[in-house]
Amino acid sequence: MSEVLKQPVVASPDAPIAEGSLRSYFPAALAVGGAVALTLLRIQAGGENFISDGALMMLALAAYLIAAVFYLTNLYAPSTLFQKIGLWAATAGVFFNLASWCVRWVAGYDREYVIHMAQGTPMPWAFRYIPFANLYDLSLAFAFGAGITTLLIAHRPTFRFLGALSLPLAALILILARFIGGELINLPPVLDSYWRPIHVGIAAISYGVALVCFAVAVVYLLKDGVKTEAMAIWSSLFCLAVIGTISRGSVFTSGIYSASTFVGNSRSSLPLRADIPYVGLLLVISGLLLAGVIVAFLVYLSRKDERARRWGHWLLKFSLIGQAAAVVTLVSQVKSITDVLSHIDTRQYERFSVWMLKEEMTQARMPATMIQERVAQFSPQELYQMADQYVQQNGAALRLSLNANPVELAALITCFAATLFCIIFSFRTERLRESLPSLEKIDSLMYKTAGVAFAGLALLLMTGAVWANESWGRYWGWDSKETGAFVAWLTYAGFLHTRISRGWTGRPSAYFAIIAFLLVIFTYLGVSYLLPGLHSYA
């Protein structure tokens, strides 16, 4: 072991495979070829005794995480074996990921077949049930985009380590997909166009490249000597923002975390939230620890105070434990609580009644001003009684599910991952920096991935515009998702132009790349969950 540790560079099996030769693309080709072969097998064998797309996705998730662990270990304790395991696990992950998507397509065919056989209508074309219909499908493809980009870049052994960062991110996206839930849906008819596979396919790939570009930017900052303490401050701020906004902001105000509920078999969650015991408390503790981390590291960065630094790192570790405990408790409670009714706080009744009234009146196409007047006519007692009555009637059918708040859950897990990476990077940071490739090479790769992401987003915007014009008769409507992608694209444009006008390579570029990726994520998730618009389905 000590033998290996003395060697400060990442072991790279350079010699047998020449960089840039066709053989170095073998893992990527194998993953894609294997997925196609498995799909053909699935078509031959039928769906009954075959592995489902959901199971394949879980395998992809596991493979991505295994690959990340081995790549990370390889950064600290360079070993050709670990690097090889990392590469093959990543290959397996991409294979399972793509296979899951392809098998889902076949499953979509089976579903349509049953419907159309029963109706005696002819089978529609294959692109009607291509899995690009909702956020689950997009997430599956997005993770694949990130995975295949990582594999393609891994043809240069010097950049294989990148999977240590990009694959956990891809895994987070798959986790989100898992929480969203993968039921096949009826396609809204206007989406039945050949532009859909083109447009969404480009979206998945360019989002994936943007993700890798983000990973490269983080690695650049690390190599450039940005203190892990500074990174921890930013990541802690992000985590505090997440903890502060989930559950309608109740964690910091009342110390309670509550989860949305489903009624019966309905697929859309109700804003009637059930309190989950202990989770709020654990999150408050984690949040306070993170606030402590921020203070300690700020003191360290401004006064070079070593003691503050040590304190900060301890607080960060405790917060990680707190966050892990919160997530585990949340998942186990959601799975185990059966009498949801007893967890419903009656203080939310008035708000819930107002929501019900507005839903009802909006569905009846009542004008907004009238809705407001009508709602204002109800007294608080009446509103309370209305909700109470609803809960009396439907209380038994209320149920908790991990699928009720996919974004909140995924955000908590992302916080955990961000904190974890801050801790990992703080461990023997100098050794880590030495084992990374030169700044110039990382910068080159960052420029290249940003360029591809920029071109990809441009194609995304264009195909979207052409599709919109073919379906609705307008190119551009400033719909939230369009605008989101446009803003991300402008940010990448800024990235490219500052390199010319100010010679802003390196660190400023890396900041641009990070902001641009955050905007991509906002476009991908925020728009669907926070803002209204045409793309709300995906």
Local structure of 258: helix, strand or coil: strand
| 530 residue type, one letter | L
CA distances (Å), origin 275, targets 279, 347, 348: 9, 12, 11
Is residue 531 helix, strand or coil?
coil
**Least distance (Å) between residue 464 CB and another protein:** 11
Residue 508, CA distances (Å) to 134, 221, 227, 276, 499 in order = 35, 10, 16, 43, 9
Q: Which is nearer to another protein, 307 or 497 (CB)?
A: 497
Give the shortest CB-305-to-another protein separation in angstroms.
36
Please, which residue, 427 or 472, has the CB nearer to another protein? 472
Minimum distance from residue 54 beta carbon to another protein (Å): 24
Least distance CB 535 / another protein (angstroms): 12
CB-wise, 26 or 522, nearer to another protein?
522
Residue written as tokens 């992608």?
A: 485
Element (H, E) at 275: strand 270-276
* DSSP sequence for 11-38: P--TTTS-TTSGGGGHHHHHHHHHHHHH
| Closer Cβ to another protein, 73 or 444, answer by number | 444
State the Cα–Cα distance between residues 382 and 380, nearest whole angstrom: 5
Distance of closest approach, residue 283 Cβ to another protein, in angstroms: 26
CB 314 within 8 A of CB 348: no
Shortest reach from residue 262's CB to another protein, in Å? 20
* 500 phi, psi to nearest 5 deg: -80, -50
Closer to another protein by Cβ: residue 409 or 446? 446
CB of 294 to another protein, least distance (A): 26
By three-state DSSP, how is residue 342 classified? helix
Distance between CA atoms of residues 237 and 229, nearest Å: 12
8 Å CB contact between 129 and 187: yes
Determine what percent of the chain falls in helix, strand and coil, rounding each to the nearest 5: 75, 5, 20
Considering the complex, state which of residue 29 and residue 530 has its C-beta at the smaller distance from another protein: 530
CA gap 262, 273 in Å, rounded: 9
CB of 64 to another protein, least distance (A): 25
Please count the CA atoms within 13 angstroms of the CA of 275 that sit on its side-chain side.
Answer: 16
176 touches 229 (CB < 8 A): no
The rounded radius of gyration (Å) of the Cα atoms in the chain is: 25
The strand pairing partners of 270, in sequence order, are: 261
d(CA 219, CA 72): 12
Q: Which is nearer to another protein, 295 or 371 (CB)?
A: 371
- At closest approach, how far in Å is the CB of 160 from another protein? 14
Between 2 and 501, whose beta carbon lies closer to another protein?
501
Q: How far apart are CA 407 and CA 127, in angstroms?
A: 28
Give 429 or 536: the residue with its C-beta nearer to another protein: 536
Residue 202 CB, shortest distance to another protein, in Å, is: 10
- The answer to whether residues 199 and 464 touch, using CB atoms and an 8 Å cutoff, is yes
Tell me the C-alpha distance between 191 and 185, whole Å. Answer: 12
CB 89, min distance to another protein, A: 24
Structure tokens at 167: 């694959």
Max Cα–Cα distance, the chain, nearest Å: 79
The answer to whether residues 68 and 163 touch, using CB atoms and an 8 Å cutoff, is yes
Token duo for residue 17:
């495979």
Residues of this chain that interact with another protein (CB under 8 A) are: 19-20, 115, 119, 121, 124, 156, 186, 188-190, 192-193, 358, 362, 367-369, 371-372, 440-441, 444-445, 447-448, 451-452, 454-455, 458-459, 462, 465-466, 469-478, 480, 483-484, 486-487, 490-491, 493-494, 497-503, 505, 527, 531-533
Q: Which is nearer to another protein, 116 or 307 (CB)?
A: 116
State which residue, 427 or 529, has the beta carbon closest to another protein. 529
State the minimum distance, in angstroms, from the CB of residue 302 to another protein: 29
**Residue closer to another protein (CB basis): 6 or 502:** 502
